[in-house]
Every structure is written in structure tokens, then in C-alpha cells.
Amino acid sequence: QLTERMTAAAEALDFETAAALRDRVRALSVLTKDQQVIAGICADTDVWGAYTSPARSGCAILHIEDGDLLARQTEVFPDAADSESALLSAVVPQYYLTRQSLPREILLPAAIEDADALSALLTERSGHAVALRVPQRGQRRALLDIARRNAREEVERITSDAERTGKTLEQLGTLAGLAEAPRRLESYDISHTAGQDMVASMVVFADGRPLKRDYRRFQVKTLDHADDLRAMEEVLERRFRRYLEGDEHFAPLPDLLLMDGGQLQAEAACHVLERLGLTVPVLGMVKDDRHRTRALVTPQGQELGIQQSPPLFALVGRVQEEVHRFAITYHHEKHTKSALTSRLDGIPGVGDVRKKALLKHFKSVRAIEQAELLQLEAVLPKAAARAVYDHFHKEDTP
């Protein structure tokens, strides 16, 4: 039945569900394979799995007798644990010290505190040897992997998306030295071609999700050459001045600025905020050799690792990818428009106003090029229309 559900999910392109079902099929296959061998090593055994997410943590216990899975128990706790070892050290003693019937073997995925003392105590209470083991390979290790998947599935089932995001933002806030989780993130990036058509993008994430209605695009107005830092300072000053002037399209202030480009961009942002008398926390996003975000950095140059937390690493990566995508898209649009408009440059009697009128009417430079003289005269005075027509039909003119 699980295999059928897995196939159906894959055909429906629901790959996340299909992967989860695949893992369960594999888990069952381990339990059902070589039953006599498992019965020999797991005659009376509890197998523990532990899992901790940014929001919650949980344990799963599988009880196996003579190769058969007789019981499965899961417990989810409302807080995250520092590690699997810390979680097990707190939970395992409490679990067994209140039970009457004890297994002969307890398999754990990580060592716990005072394991020898607990083993001796349980042996004394049960009247038979109770061994605590941390297998590293073989079928026992495979059983531990199954138990961990059980724990993970239960934790993720109970944990809501909002809780996951909230805990991830709390981690980000702690890393940035904030008293509270940053609910509103803003990020900026500059895009240009050798200093031409220089633009900037501003993207906003609210509660971990893109808030596209608050995205903004800027044309860099004060530079005619490549200087990303000065361009960034111009854009940020315009953005925050608009806020100070009461422009509702640039409110509220962000809880945290994430600057694409690393320390120098973060430092430039701080200079702008200081000049304007504003206080907004700032971090830069540090890229690896493949231009993927690998860490955060303070304006003072202190690097902050994020790879130890996959959810936080994923969130920062999404922000970086989104601000870069938005900047590149705007730059391509502007560059293409500039390239097309330049083909109308130098035509006698055709200035910016008449260029705009032509593009508005014909929609593209190519349509203007292919237009008949009478069609052009419907938009421009006859002399200007003739100049445009001749500009594109030079080979036809005697």
C-alpha cells in the first residue's frame, strides 16, 4: 500500500510526499529482511530515535522481540534540544525509572550522561542484565535510523510552518544580537553592465516569506561608472529619506537589513543610517566561490556561521537568491529598453518626447522600423516622420 501511494504521489509531482513514503518503505524493508538474524540480535530490545528541529524535539521508541516490532511510541516536546545526546540524557532515565517491565538491550543513537550508572540501576531493578549500547554500523545501526525517521516524522507532523519559521527567525535574531526575532527583513543588491544601466533592488521578507507588494526598484542617478558601494549608499539614502519624509510606500523600517555583497556593503549601509540618525541592525551576506551565501558578517567584519542550522541557512539563501533575481531582472529590462531606444537616437527632429510617443504607439523599435511613412505621420509631424522613415530605409534613398 505504501509503494502504491508513493508511486501515485510521484506521478502527481508531489515529490516531498513521495520521498517520505519511500523512506517508510525502506524502513519496513529493514525490519522484514533477514528476520532470523534480527531475532538473534534483537530478542528483547528497545530502539531509540531522537530528532530536534528549530521549533521542537522528539523521541521514538521501537520495541522489538524475536525480530517482531511489537510496540512503537513517540513523544514530542514543545522546545528544541541542544543536541540528540542532551535530549536522550534528559528523557531516557525518566522513561525507564517509571516502568515495571524493562528490556534486556537499549539501543541509543548517541551516548548519554551516566550511562553505566543507569545500566547498573536498571539491571538491579529488573533482575536481568540491561545493556545500553550505541551501535555505529550493521543492522542495529539501521534500526536506529528507522527510529530516528519515526521521531522526525512525528516532530514535523506536529510542528506548524509558523512555528518553524518563528524559531528560525529567533535564531537569526540571536545571531544578530537582537532582543526579538526580526519579523521584517530587507535586502538590497546592485546590478549593472560595466557601469551602464545601473539599478538596485530592494526585497522584503515578512515572517520568513517574500512580501512582493513591498519590493522596490531604483535607478542609480548619480553615477556613470561602476562603483557598487557609492551606488548602494545612494539607493539606501533615497529609501530611508522617503521613510523620514512620511512616504507610506517606504514604511515601516525593517527589523534587520541583509546586504548582498558582504562586509563592505554592510558597512556602507551603517554609514547611511548614521547620517540620517536611524538605528537599524545590519548584516552582510557572504558568498562562497560559487556565489552562494555561506555565512553572515557584521559591519565590523565578524563572520557568523549559519550552516549549523539548515533552516536558517535556507532562509538566508532564499533572501540572497531573491534579491539577486529581482536586481538582475530589472537590469535586463532596463538594458534592453536602453539598447532599443538608442536606435532612435540621432534622428533629426526626434527628441525624447517624440521617441516616447513612437514607442507608446508602435510598442517596439522593430515596429517603428517596419512602419510605412503614412503610419509614422499619424504620430509625428511630416518632417519628423520623414526623418524617421529615412533613418530606417537609408538603402532605399537615392
pLDDT tens, the chain, 398 aa long: 888 888 888 877 777 788 788 878 777 765 555 444 454 567 789 999 999 988 889 999 999 887 778 888 999 998 888 899 999 999 999 999 888 889 999 999 999 999 999 999 999 999 899 999 999 988 889 899 999 999 998 998 888 777 888 889 999 999 999 999 999 999 998 875 554 567 888 999 999 999 999 999 888 777 666 677 888 899 999 999 999 999 988 989 999 999 987 899 999 999 999 999 999 999 999 887 776 778 999 999 999 989 888 889 989 989 988 888 887 775 566 555 554 556 777 788 888 788 888 888 988 778 888 899 999 999 999 999 999 898 888 754 44
pLDDT, tens only, 127-144: 899 999 999 988 889 899
Whether the Cβ atoms of residue 92 and residue 85 lie closer than 8 Å to each other: no
- The cell for 361 is 504607439
Sequence-ordered alpha helix ranges (H) in the chain? 2-11, 15-32, 35-41, 84-97, 115-126, 138-158, 161-175, 228-244, 263-276, 310-341, 352-362, 365-370, 373-377, 382-392
Those residues whose C-beta lies under 8 Å from the C-beta of residue 130, and which sit 6 or more positions away, are: 102, 103, 104, 105, 106, 119, 122, 123
Q: Name the phi and psi angles at 288, rounded to 5.
A: -90, -170
How far apart, in whole angstroms, are the C-alpha atoms of residue 269 and residue 291?
Answer: 21
Residue tagged 534579491 (cell numbers): 323
Nearest to 284 by CA among 314, 313, 307, 316: 316
* Sign of CA pseudo-dihedral 161, 165, 170, 171: positive
| Mean per-residue pLDDT of the chain | 85
**Residue 239 DSSP SS3:** helix
CA-to-CA dists, residue 204 to 180, 209, 256, 260, angstroms: 18, 8, 10, 13
Q: Name the phi and psi angles at 249, rounded to 5.
A: -75, -10
> What pLDDT is attached to residue 41?
64
Q: Could you tell me the pTM of the whole model?
A: 0.55
